[in-house]
Amino acid sequence: MDSELIQVISRIVHVATAIVLVGGSVFMRFALMPAAAGLGDAEHEGLRERLMGRWRRFVHGGIALLLASGLYNYVVVMMPLHEGDGRYHMLVGIKLLLVLVLFFLASALVGRSSALQGLRDKARTTLSVMILLAAVIVAISGYLKTRGVPAAAESTETAATAARLLSAE
């Protein structure tokens, strides 16, 4: 398969998965939770169990897809373009740390561990924090995607490429 096609597919999988997971979180926080507030305790608990049973598969599968496609996009596509670009790698590092916190919260919310019950008991707050983290991650990603490759990084990349070509001879 053509490497450009793989890159495009990887990017589509990454963005589409993020859209589904963030959109699902926004839906739950701002549409489903207020609508379910009028249910009795037994009905509410039944709905929560059925919902989380289904949503859990999306969360776990989505995390796997985001990790795989994100790693591919960074290592194969972006890292070579941004060799020597310290700001880029710093922001990607910050983004990765925020992503790990977001994945933890999402897993805790759909999980069954009694140690994390407090996060599920405060699902409204947990979802709000998750949505805020997702917005910051999207903002960092948008900035990194549109800022381009700075001239200093381009010249470093050109020098590194030339050095590799010379050492191959």
31-83 per-position pLDDT tens digit: 999 999 889 989 999 999 999 999 999 999 999 999 999 999 999 989 888 98
Q: What pLDDT, in 10s, does the model give residues 74-119?
A: 999 898 889 889 999 999 999 999 999 999 999 999 999 999 999 9
DSSP 34: H
Measure the CA–CA gap between 138 and 99, rounded to whole angstroms: 10
* Tokens found for residue 62: 């989505």
pTM value?
0.84
Alpha-helical regions (H) of 28-85: 33-36, 41-72, 79-81
C-alpha torsion angle, residues 66, 67, 68, 72 (rounded to 10): 100
